[in-house]
Every structure is written in C-alpha cells, then in structure tokens.
Homo-oligomer: A and B are copies of this chain.
Amino acid sequence: MAGGITIALDAMGGDLGPEAVVGGASLARIRHPNVHYEFHGDEKLLAPLLETDAELKAVSSIHHTDVAVSMSDKPSQALRAGRRVSSMWLAIDAVKQGRAQAALSCGNTGALTVMSRMILKTMPGIDRPALAAIWPTMRGESIVLDVGANVVAEEKNLVNFAIMGEAMARTALGQPKPTVGLLNIGAEEMKGNENVKGAAQVLRNTDLEFEFYGFVEGDDISKGTVDVVVTDGFTGNIALKTAEGTARLIGDYLSNAMRRSLASRIGYLLARGAFNVLRKRMDPSSVNGGVFLGLNGVVVKSHGSATAAGIASALDLAIDMARHDIIKKISADLETVHTDEASAGEATAEPEPVAS
C-alpha cells in the first residue's frame, strides 16, 4: 500500500445492499488506482461480487461478519446488536486501528453517528461532531454543516462547526481563505434565535483563519454567497432534503412539459445533450456523501438510497479527505481558536446522542 490509502466500507448498509457498495468501489477504482478497499460484511455475498471485477479484487480485502445494522434500528438497538461485531462498527474500527484512513457507510445515520463517536471519540474541545455536505451552487460548491448529526446546536457548537467547516473547505474546495456564514432568517443582526446570535458574536470577535461573513439566508446556499454555511442539524437536514425535493419536483415539471407537444418532443431530442448535462448536475448522487467532522478519524455517510454512482461520489469525498489529512488540519485550527478562547473557560457537559 506504499503511497496509497485504504478505505474501509460497511458493505451491508444502504437500501441497495452490497451490490451497490461493490459497484461504487468498482467505479472509484478507475478514478483512484492507488486506493485499497476493505469490505466489511457477509463474505458469501461479497466474494462473488468481487469476482466480477478482477482489478477491484486485486486491491480489496473482505472482512467477514454476519451482523448488519438495519436501516430502521434505533441507535440503541444498533449498539446492542452490533457493537464490536457489525459491519458498520468494524469499518469504523479499521480507522481507529490505523488500517484505514477513512470509513464509509450508507447505513442508518443515527447508528453511524453514535458508533463513530464511540469508536473514534471527538477531538479535544469538540463535544458534538457534525455531518457536513457539499452543496452545488451558482459559484461552484459550498459546504453546509450540520446536516443531521445533532438535533440541537448551542452557540459553542455552532462556533466549532464554523472552524471544522472552514478546514474542510480548504481541503475539499481548495479555498485558501474560505468565507463562513451562519444560516438565519434574515441578514439583520437582531434576527434569529439566541444560539445563532451568540455564535455570530463569538465569530465576529475571534481571530480566525477564515472570513466570517455574518448571517446568510436559505437562498444564499444555492447562490454560493459563502463557502461554508453553518447551522444546527435539525435545520440543516430539513434544508438539504427540501432542496433535494425541489430538484425532483422541477425535474418532474420538466419532463411533463417536454411531453406536451410534438414540437417540444422534437426540441427535447435536439437538446438531449443539454438535458443530459442538466440531469447530471441535478442528480443528488453526483454530490452524494456527508463527512462527520470533529472526530479523530474520517467517516463518510452516503445516502441510504445511493446507487453505485452515488457511492462512487461518496468514495471520491472519503479519498479526498483522507489524502489531505483533514483531521490534522481541523486539529490545528481548533487549537488556535481554543487557545484564544481559553479565558472564556467554558465547561462542556457530555451531550445526549442524536437519539436513544
């Protein structure tokens, strides 16, 4: 594995099962020839799938387990049944053991949040990890976090999300000095809830490696007003899914409109190339994958319904994060800020996991 990296995959998560996971790795292997894949799951299912791609098989290993976390398990059920033995746990543990530089799962978000946190632990100064997503915008791409790891986020959590998000923007978007905005219901200073207003106050008065833009609104995400949009996991998850739903609705409108008349059908055929470009840009799988930030290791969550193409995109992200050693970058940034803030002397209670 000299010069290469290893990604540990929970091959049993997701709605489409091991076939989509192995198919995703097949696609990713072509784009990233130096990466090794460690598949965790049922060998009886995985071995025949790997037989179909000799080149993938050559850079892969199978780690057998019978236990898989179900998509409908509560985190507490998933832990009871899957601690130390499930494919999800074992994939994350490969990162902890240093065998893999990132883990990927399309399984149950709640279980993945709780297990990742239990195995990898949060970085010093972080009590809540966040799930960060890459969002297509008019200017390119932005990072939005938290999109669902936590239901609530206090002032301090939002500040940490900003720091983790800008480290990811430097890595994933290649922005040397990213701009960061706090999602709110108005750009005016007096608007918003107390946590958002408090976090803005801290970010305005801290000396950071990034530019704090201030408040942004929902439509600023797609505009690309800032590189990093910070919000709590409740609002962020709803915003992300609302955007996905809107894209699907417009796709539906478009295909209905194109079927209206003979002229529009001919027009559609002529503009087919353009429509394919559009479809690709609108396809949620082309930007699939959220990264858990704030843990001592990289864990990427792929959409539960991701196809092989979607899983390949999530693998691109996992490989990118591993290659650029994002954990080291976040640690360094957190250290700067927490040294600055040491005088504030905040006590941090152990928070509740996302669901019990």
| Chain B residue at minimum C-beta to C-beta distance from A73 | B188
Cα(A191)–Cα(B150), bound, Å: 10
Cα(A272)–Cα(B282), bound, Å: 21
Q: Is A349 an interface residue (CB 8 A)?
A: no
**Do the beta carbons of B248 and A219 come within 8 Å of each other?**
yes
**Do the beta carbons of B273 and A260 come within 8 Å of each other?**
yes
**Do the beta carbons of A218 and B234 come within 8 Å of each other?**
no
> Which parts of A313-329 form the interface with B (CB within 8 Å)?
none
Asked whether A234 and B266 contact (CB < 8 A) given A219-B245, A274-B258, the answer is: no
Min CB gap A177→B, angstroms: 24
**Do the beta carbons of B260 and A242 come within 8 Å of each other?**
no
**Do the beta carbons of B235 and A238 come within 8 Å of each other?**
yes
The 5 A-B pairs with the shortest beta carbon distances in the complex, nearest first, are: A218-B241, A267-B271, A267-B270, A219-B245, A222-B245
Binding site for B on A (CB under 8 A): 72, 74, 110, 136-138, 148, 151-152, 183, 185-186, 188, 190-193, 217-223, 231, 233-235, 237-250, 252-254, 257-258, 260-261, 263-264, 266-275, 277-278, 281-282, 354-356
26 A–B contacts, CB within 8 A, in A order: A137-B249, A138-B248, A138-B252, A152-B193, A183-B238, A186-B355, A217-B238, A218-B237, A218-B240, A219-B241, A219-B242, A219-B244, A222-B248, A231-B238, A235-B238, A242-B242, A246-B246, A246-B247, A253-B278, A253-B282, A258-B271, A261-B274, A264-B270, A266-B267, A267-B269, A268-B271
